[in-house]
Amino acid sequence: MRIAADTGGTFTDLVVERGHQVQAYKASTTPQDPASGILDALALAAEDAGESVAALLAQVTVFIHATTRAINAILTESTARTALLCTRGHPDMLLLREGGRREPFDWRHGYPDPYIPRSLTFEIAERIGAAGEVVQELDEAAVLRVIGTLRELRVEAVAVCLLWSIANPAHELRLGELLEEHLPGVPFTLSHALNPTLREYRRASSAAIDASLKPLMTAYLRGLEERLRGAGFSGRLLIVTSSGGLLDAHEVAAAPIHSISSGPSMAPVAGRRYAAIEAMSDNAVIADTGGTSYDVALVRGGRLPMTRETWLGVEYEGHITGFPAVDVRSVGAGGGSIAWIDPGGLLHVGPQSAGADPGPVCYGRGGSEPTVTDACLVLGWIDPDYFLGGKMPLDLQAAHEAIERRIALPIGLDVQEAAAAIMAVVTERMVQAIEEITINQGVDPRSAVLVGGGGAAGLNAVAIARRLGCPKVIIPQAGAVLSARGALMSDLVAEYSAALFTATDAFDYERAEETLSRLRERCTTFASRSGSVGPPEIHYIAEARYRHQVWQLDLPLRSGRLEDAPSVATLVEDFHCLHEEVYAVRDEQAIVELVNVRARVSCPMGRDELDAPLAEPHDPCRRSRLVYFSGPGAVQADILNLEAMAIGEIVGGPAIIESSFTTVVLNPGASAERTSSGSLLITPLPAGRPEPSAASAEAGS
């Protein structure tokens, strides 16, 4: 048995895999103690199985955890008190950063502060040259004086980033030895070991972020493991990483920067698989609607979207991680997003969220601001007596009064019109988020299926698909816990990189093969101790550019070798094609430079099949109730239970399809079929109906 737990801002999702059966559970997240939410969800799973938590955990061989602990600590500035040690004369790497502004003429925002302040930045007398030669020996006496100052300042972590340590790490390694000897118990990160990239800012930034997270994440992961083992777990604890893979908990504690985008990276993993099986499509928009955010990603040609431009916060104004990560974009639009009226009388939804505490008004926990969930309740889309399978009754009257008081009366609408307006606005925000990763990147959304995940995904997935022109919508049976489900589909993954600066006019074959050989050996060693259930795969990537360019592109190496002229000729042709695909320009006469090479090893950890239906079909007991849609108004809609639908059964809208953790709204004219895996395959537009224009703003019909 395997279990995956995803701790979100509002709910903690748990998925239990027993053979081909997958069961999902949700419990409220406890922000101050995320482990409590996991244990609460485990208690629900144990109760459902008719056994104790200890008996359940005793059967678990692998426990996978996705956490927002690291990113939340960064965003709330609650990381460790961290110092930076750098080469003398270069203390401003984190301040000067990489230039850029999202809005070049918006000067209301000041220049961002460095991740580590100058008051905690210390210059070290040493210098390594670009060729790895020692220009100035390390002044160890001065280093010991700096360490004494760090002790007096009660520094909790240390980041070390020296110039050209990627060419010769001797001085960084010696600094690590001195820190370990004279500042015991204080964790540190050496930039060349963590992120051996050519660019000093990215190397310094990643080292600073990683070091600042070590005390927090080490304590969190150790505490979680102790509580799980105290509850009866004796298996392997794996943590979801930002790059869409898994690592052992102790490896993540040693390099916690890999856990920053832990949860969101899994939704594209699951969505890609569902799109390929259910709709036979290699292009998919993956949308994960949680209580706080709406996360979107584009799977193109069956490939996970990866990026090295991962910023914590606003691009250029936040801090870059310097590591590859699954490219997931987020907007503040989820089930808990708050609806509000600005002084000019315009309706907005988000980015503020009611979160888990106090939550939407209808939760009855003290929330007073109307949210998306409250609007769906007022529209009749959500059954107040069947939320979370009836375990959490909702207060319809409180939601009605909040929308009336805060939204309807100020803008002169009745309550249902106001609720529909809330849904139209939040739908438009979600559409714009998807357009940024499709239309803005030259991809027609009409060529992609929409995969909806998260507890609130089904509420407006049809409306979003109609606005974008997506031909199909998939709501997986485990869609409400899509990220946790993706964790069970993921591989154990490690990525290693090395600096390799050479050019095609004087290519250093010996150094290139030596570098790739070292990476290959590290991948093989990792795979040998992975415990994988299938053969590992190793993929090689070169970071390449035309000479005189500033930025490079990630170029897959077909064979993983650069040993002779033909292999380099293949690399050059592949780069020309890639450059033309990205920039619409190819320069056949230009010299191609390599800057870095990377190797990524993936080791399968579980089966590669979709789920069996969670329950056998039974008497559907169709009901109906009045629900409200913008356009047709109040209409009588069929109400069905997802688990009660037979495989191959087709339902036409208007209809509401409910399960224990999600509600799927079929707008008038849409239709849905239950597939062999238990998912819903939705056709948002009736046959023969023209696709909506991009300018259409009608989100509700």
Amino acid at 639: I
323-360 per-position pLDDT tens digit = 888 888 888 888 888 999 999 899 999 888 887 678 89
Q: What is the pLDDT of residue 607?
A: 64
Tell me what percent of the residues of the chain surpass a pLDDT of 90: 56
Q: What is the pLDDT of residues 64-73, one digit of tens each?
A: 999 888 888 8
Which amino acid, residue 513? E
Model pLDDT for residues 166-181, shown as the tens digit of each residue: 999 999 999 999 999 9
pLDDT of residue 606: 75
* Beta-bridge mates of residue 671: 652, 683
Q: What is the pLDDT of residue 560?
A: 87
Whole-model pTM: value is 0.85
- Closest to 696 in 3D by CA, of 462, 351, 464: 464
At residue 484, does pLDDT exceed 90?
no
The pLDDT, as a whole number, for residue 206 is: 95
Mapping DSSP onto H, E and C, the string for 531-586 reads: CCCCCCEEEEEEEEEECCCCCCEEEEECCCCCCCHHHHHHHHHHHHHHHHHHHCCC
The DSSP result for 641-693, as a single string, is EGGGSPTT-EEESSEEEE-SS-EEEE-TT-EEEE-TTS-EEEE-S-TTPPPPP
Overall average pLDDT of the 432-451 stretch? 88
What pLDDT, on a 0 to 100 scale, did the predictor assign at position 614?
Answer: 53
pLDDT score of 203 more than 90? yes
SS (H, E, C) 436-460: HHCHHHCCCHHHCEEEEECCCHHHC
Nearest to 43 by CA among 34, 32, 55: 55
Specify the pLDDT at position 612.
55
Confidence of residue 613 (pLDDT cuts 50, 70, 90): low
Residue 620 clears pLDDT 80, i.e. is over it: no
Residue of 13, 11, 17 whose CA lies nearest to 29: 11
Written as one string, the DSSP assignment of 86-107 is EETT-TTHHHH-----SSTT--
DSSP letter (8 states) at residue 619: -
Compute the mean pLDDT over every residue in the chain, rounded to the nearest whole number.
88
With b for 16 or more beta-carbon neighbours within 10 A and e for fewer, the 470-481 pattern comes to bbbbbbbbbbbb
Place 105 in a pLDDT band, splitting at 50, 70 and 90: confident
Of 255, 427, 433, the residue nearest 337 (C-alpha): 427
Tens of pLDDT along 18-64? 877 788 888 877 777 888 889 988 999 999 889 999 999 999 999 99
CA gap 701, 693 in Å, rounded: 14
Question: What CA–CA distance (Å, rounded) separates 195 from 205?
Answer: 10
Between CA 275 and CA 269 the distance in angstroms is 10
Residue showing tokens 């009754």:
393
Q: Give the per-residue pLDDT at 77.
A: 83
- Which of 468, 513, 22, 492 is closest to 246 using CA atoms? 492
Report the percent of the chain where pLDDT is more than 70. Answer: 95
**Per-residue pLDDT at 689:** 55
Ranges 207-221, 353-367, 535-549: which has the least confidence: 353-367
Provide the terminal-to-terminal Cα distance of the chain, rounded to the nearest Å: 43
Res 608: pLDDT: 59
> Six-digit token pair at 254?
């040693």
Concatenate the DSSP letters of all residues of 313-349 into one string: SSTTTSEE--S-EE--EEES-STTEEEEE-TTS-EEE
DSSP summary character for residue 114: P
| pLDDT (average), residues 447-452 | 92
Residue 107: what pLDDT? 77
